[in-house]
Amino acid sequence: MTTADERTNLAGLDRAELAAVVAGLGEKPFRAKQLWHWIYHRGETDFANMTTLGGPLRAKLAEACAVRRPGVATEQTSTDRTRKWLLRFDDGNEAETVFIPEEDRGALCISSQVGCTLTCTFCHTGTQKLVRNLTAPEIVGQLMLARDSYGEWPSPKDGRLLSNIVMMGMGEPLFNYDNVAQALKIVMDPEGLAISKRRITLSTSGVVPEIHRCGAELGVNLAISLHAVRDDLRDVLVPINKKYPLKELVAALRAYPAANNARRITIEYVMLKGVNDSPAEAREMIRLLKGIPVKFNLIPFNVWPGAPYEMSPPHVIRRFSEILNDAGYSAPIRVPRGRDIMAACGQLKSASERARKGRATAMAAQVGGTA
């Protein structure tokens, strides 16, 4: 007997893969285009409603295929309206997706991996041991699920609440380049989900060899988790720095194909009390990045249970921001969102992982997570 899970999931397939499925069913190529429209423009999940396909094909599809979303283990909405989904994939692994609404727009923060192989010392995700890459369908599925949740089908062109995407959830997207690239190409396709590359930002801790490709092939906005301006400190905070030190990272930024003065590279800088927040470091950062089209985003450190750092005091963050402003750079201080549901930057870590760690640790994490 065929169960739903054994059928081929079409949601998240690219045009070539969809064409192959259609050919495998003995159908003409134009059917793939129709399916694409139903799946990615209309958001339809039931073949019975795909009226242009004709009865026999709809029946064949229902037999062999499905259009599924990732499973949702929990969904929480913060007092500030930030929404977080804990996804549970078919193999039981979990990852999180967060939507951060503004007045008339909003950014969906998408995960690229379950956990993260890197171990940035200030990041909760980096303490999660279990790691695997997400597939392209699992990445695209996060957007489709959020569209369902906000009722934004068919893909509206204007007035979308889900207007932007940030690849800033769990994981290092450039360690999963192929799947992330395939997913983003589907997301950017103008006849489907239709989110422009100008509204997509990919954040990396600095996987230097993949940065150029990301700009040349995808053309999305780039954000870099810099967090330190000296190699000795960055080696500790962002350990990938030992492999790709600042000099190489800065050279890659200088050469990023999709950046210019109108589309600047975002430099993310988490403000850690007494660690990286001195005026001298702000000035050093200006020297380091001179001549590169950048803007800054100062992120007050978000605490998590057992975190070894504290947030810099507000006046220290303001002073840091002013130094960058005085040098002509935009340097807003990111307003933390969704802290009450552990949805803020660097707080993501799946509950299954917490549960695995034994009762005591799990309870401590839960107390911290609901405080």
Which residues are near ligand SAH by CB under 6 A? Answer: 120, 122-123, 168, 172, 203-205, 225, 268, 270, 299, 301-302, 345-346
Q: Angle at CA 137, nearest 5°, toward 98 and 29?
A: 140
Residue 168: name its binding partner from ligand SF4, ligand SAH, none (Cβ under 5 to 8 Å by kind). ligand SAH
Closest approach of ligand SAH to the CB of residue 98, in Å: 11
Q: 10 vs 229, which CB is nearer to ligand SF4?
A: 229
| Burial tier of 257 (Cβ tally within 10 Å: 0-12, 13-18, 19+) | middle
Alpha carbon distance 83, 76 (integer Å): 6
Q: 43 vs 346, which CB is nearer to ligand SF4?
A: 346
Closest approach of ligand SAH to the CB of residue 121, in Å: 9
Residue 277: name its binding partner from ligand SF4, ligand SAH, none (Cβ under 5 to 8 Å by kind). none
Q: 38 vs 301, which CB is nearer to ligand SAH?
A: 301
- What does the H/E/C string look like for the chain? CCCHHHCEECCCCCHHHHHHHHHHCCCCCHHHHHHHHHHHHHCCCCHHHCHHHCHHHHHHHHHHEECCCCEEEEEEECCCCCEEEEEECCCCCEEEEEEEECCCCEEEECCCEECCCCCCCCCCHHHCCCCEECCHHHHHHHHHHHHHHHCCCCCCCCCCCCCEEEECCCCCHHHHHHHHHHHHHHHHCCCCCCCCHHHEEEEECCCHHHHHHHHHHHCCEEEEECCCCCHHHHHHHCHHHHCCCHHHHHHHHHCCCCCECCECEEEEEEEECCCCCCHHHHHHHHHHCCCCCEEEEEEECCCCCCCCCCECCHHHHHHHHHHHHHCCCCCCECCCCCHHHCCCCCCCCCHHHHHHCCHHHHHHHHHHHHC
Nearest residue by C-beta to ligand SF4?
126
Residue 215: name its binding partner from ligand SF4, ligand SAH, none (Cβ under 5 to 8 Å by kind). none
Q: Choosing from 96, 172, 268, 353, which is the catalytic residue?
A: 96
Closest approach of ligand SAH to the CB of residue 214, in Å: 12
Residue 101: name its binding partner from ligand SF4, ligand SAH, none (Cβ under 5 to 8 Å by kind). none
Q: 70 vs 171, which CB is nearer to ligand SF4?
A: 171
Closest approach of ligand SAH to the CB of residue 68, in Å: 26
* Catalytic residue flag (residue 345): yes
Can you give the binding site for ligand SF4, defined by CB under 6 A?
116, 118, 120, 123, 125-126, 171-172, 205, 225
Q: 126 vs 137, which CB is nearer to ligand SF4?
A: 126
Residue 345: name its binding partner from ligand SAH, ligand SF4, none (Cβ under 5 to 8 Å by kind). ligand SAH
Residue 302: name its binding partner from ligand SAH, ligand SF4, none (Cβ under 5 to 8 Å by kind). ligand SAH
Closest approach of ligand SF4 to the CB of residue 207, in Å: 9
Closest approach of ligand SF4 to the CB of residue 267, in Å: 14
Q: 61 vs 348, which CB is nearer to ligand SF4?
A: 348
Give catalytic residue positions: 96, 345
